[in-house]
Structure 1
Amino acid sequence: MNLAIDAGGTNLRAQIWHNDNFIAATEAKSGSIGLYSWIETLLAKYREIKTIGISFAGQVEDGRIISAPNILVDEHNIRERVESKYGVTLKIENDLNCAVLAEAKEFGVQNICALYVGTGLGLGAMDGGRVIKGFKNVATEIGHIPYKKTPLKCGCSRDNCLELYASGSGIAKQIEHKRVSCGTTLKELERAGEIEIVELFQEALLVAAGTTLTLFNPQVLVLGGGIIEANPYLEEFILKNIKDYALSNSLEGVKICKSRLQNASLGGALLLKDFDD
């Protein structure tokens, strides 16, 4: 059996598979139980599990959890601990790196980028069938590219991250700073007359997409995440305006579209068993 886990900031989600056959699904709140403890409960229930793939919304390196702003971590050296105790194979990877694995399988390409806009701004990139990770597995942290100075503070403690403009958390911080009384969706902001926040978001999103295309020259750029899903017009908006934000050669033949997957990170976690760390 194979266990796939999506460890997000709100929920821990798991699926159990036997070869290509779906067996069961379960979930828990991220703050209600430690990830390691939750894995132990699953291994106790499904004793035939041999491989575990984890999509993790935080920084990981060589099977270790380095940082996790919203997940209860009760064991940082999670791969060594689980493998030595239970005799299984465990692989853990950043959630966007997992997402791009699933998107690559969905589109049948080896050069692809997944730009996801939700609570944060994340990017997974694959070149020639291999996920780009970098020296410390933080190669594609596009949300933390220096962009524009602001009175706000990012989760990384800086005040000029792209994520402060093009993410749900960034929008929420701008609303709080301006003391605006409205919801955090783009439509609610427009109805409240807060067009500036919407326009800042849109421009930052174009910068993120254009930077991705220029740096990685993918065959496919997939757009995903809660904000993209809630605002379908953003796909057409990017297609219409991206020429002003990316190298023209990087736009030749590229396909830009919304994700077709419901949970690419979880799907990618299941695929980790087939890829080298």
Structure 2
Amino acid sequence: MNGSRVGLDIGGTKIHGIAIGPDGDVLAEDRAATTLGPEGVVKSAAAVVASLRAALDGGEISSIGVGIPGIVDTRAGTVKHAVNLGLDGDAFPLAALLGERTGAVVTLENDTNSATLGAHAVEDVDDLVYLSLGTGLAAGLYLGGALRRGFHGAAGEVGHLPVDPEGPVCGCGQRGCLELVASGAALAAAWPTPTGHPAEALFAAAAAGDPAAVAVRDRFADGVAAAVRALALAVDPERVVIGGGVAAIGEPLREAIAAALTRQAESSPFLTSLELASRLRVVSAAPVAAIGAALITPSNRSRGPIEGGLAWK
């Protein structure tokens, strides 16, 4: 494929864009604030594309892939229920509108699925689960060399597994869902901080020996480990990659989840034999959602070939 591939990770506060060359080199990168609402999202996304094009000295852009939250129809190029972007009405034709602004073919994908494609490229394995610890809890499945979206596009919605029938009501309408314990929002509610990143504050306090912080951290890690265990028992992936906002913690997060998996397996030789802790990785540096979006091709709406692999380490 000639020209550069552009990938946009559109979130509620910022858009992260990258341009990848045919050989897998990351040629340009840009971030900009997201303007909410239908016109705002299109305008701010187009501005990031223009910035990347300028960094490429006007070089050809062969495709634009977009990872975006909400319910995405990849074939129609529409998104709906992206409430945090102000796109909470009918299906919004983002691909067509952004294509008109940029003069390029645009393909949409759910942001978790885009990040899963990026994690696959960075980890270079054909069988993995990507678990996103963001405001919510969701997983992407890349199995046997292909992205698994599910019949209704709901594959990997592990955050809505009910684990406590007496728990609070979730936004999905069920009671006691897993994401009420194991998500960035749940962590922030359990360890509120006036400034800064709640996860960083919690893990720092736990590392300093604060008993309350240790208890909150371990409860959170137990919840994430339960999600890892459910996904591993369902599809038995080679690797489980942890990403999302909480993944900025890095290695301490992996260690906490691995310790929880080990504790949960203590009474089960079967679980012990699966060695789930050894399959964990945390991606805290690579922008996997933007990378995955860039690797989406219009022809098959999945990762296209990159000769020699992706040059991001």
TM (norm. structure 1) is 0.81
Among candidates 165, 170, 184, match of residue 198 of structure 2: 184
Distance 1:32 1:275 in 2: 29
- Structure 1 residues 213 and 173, CA, compared in 2 at 3 Å: closer, same or farther? same
Q: CA deviation at 1:3?
A: 2.0
Within the alignment, does 1:70 sit opposite 2:89 as a pair?
no
Q: What is residue 307 of structure 2 aligned with on the other side?
A: none
Among candidates 14, 35, 41, match of residue 41 of structure 2: 35
Among candidates 32, 37, 55, match of residue 67 of structure 2: 55
- The DSSP-based 3-state class of the residue aligned with 1:38 is helix
Q: Is the 8 A contact 2:218 2:256 kept in 1?
A: no
Q: How does 1:88-99 map to 2 (within 5 A)?
A: 88-99=104-115
Q: Is the 8 A contact 2:5 2:295 kept in 1?
A: no
How many corresponding residue pairs? 274
Q: CA deviation at 1:174?
A: 4.0
Among candidates 14, 24, 39, match of residue 17 of structure 2: 14
Unaligned residue ranges in structure 1 (runs of 5+): none
Superposed CA deviations along residues 76-111 of structure 1, whole A, max 9, x for unmatched, are 122244446766321111222112212222232211
Q: What is residue 106 of structure 1 aligned with on the other side?
A: 122
Distance 1:43 1:145 in 2: 38
Q: Is the 8 A contact 2:221 2:260 kept in 1?
A: no
Amino acid at match of 1:162: L
Q: Is the 8 A contact 1:4 1:14 kept in 2?
A: yes
- Structure 1 residues 124 and 261, CA, compared in 2 at 3 Å: closer, same or farther? farther
TM (norm. structure 2) is 0.73
Q: Is the 8 A contact 1:189 1:197 kept in 2?
A: no
Q: What is residue 151 of structure 2 aligned with on the other side?
A: 135
Superposed CA deviations along residues 232-275 of structure 1, whole A, max 9, x for unmatched, are 33323333442536963654896322226521111111111287
- Structure 1 residues 199 and 149, CA, compared in 2 at 3 Å: closer, same or farther? farther
Identity across matched positions, percent: 24
Which segment is superposed worse, 158-167 or 244-253?
A: 244-253
- Structure 1 residues 2 and 231, CA, compared in 2 at 3 Å: closer, same or farther? closer
Q: Is the 8 A contact 2:126 2:142 kept in 1?
A: yes
Within the alignment, does 1:2 sit opposite 2:20 as a pair?
no
Distance 1:125 1:189 in 2: 33
Q: CA deviation at 1:44?
A: 6.0
Within the alignment, does 1:25 sit opposite 2:41 as a pair?
no
What is the aligned-residue RMSD (CA, Å)?
3.4
Deviation beyond 6 Å, 4+ runs, structure 1 = 180-183
Unaligned residue ranges in structure 2 (runs of 5+): 302-313
Q: What is residue 229 of structure 2 aligned with on the other side?
A: 210
Within the alignment, does 1:235 sit opposite 2:235 as a pair?
no
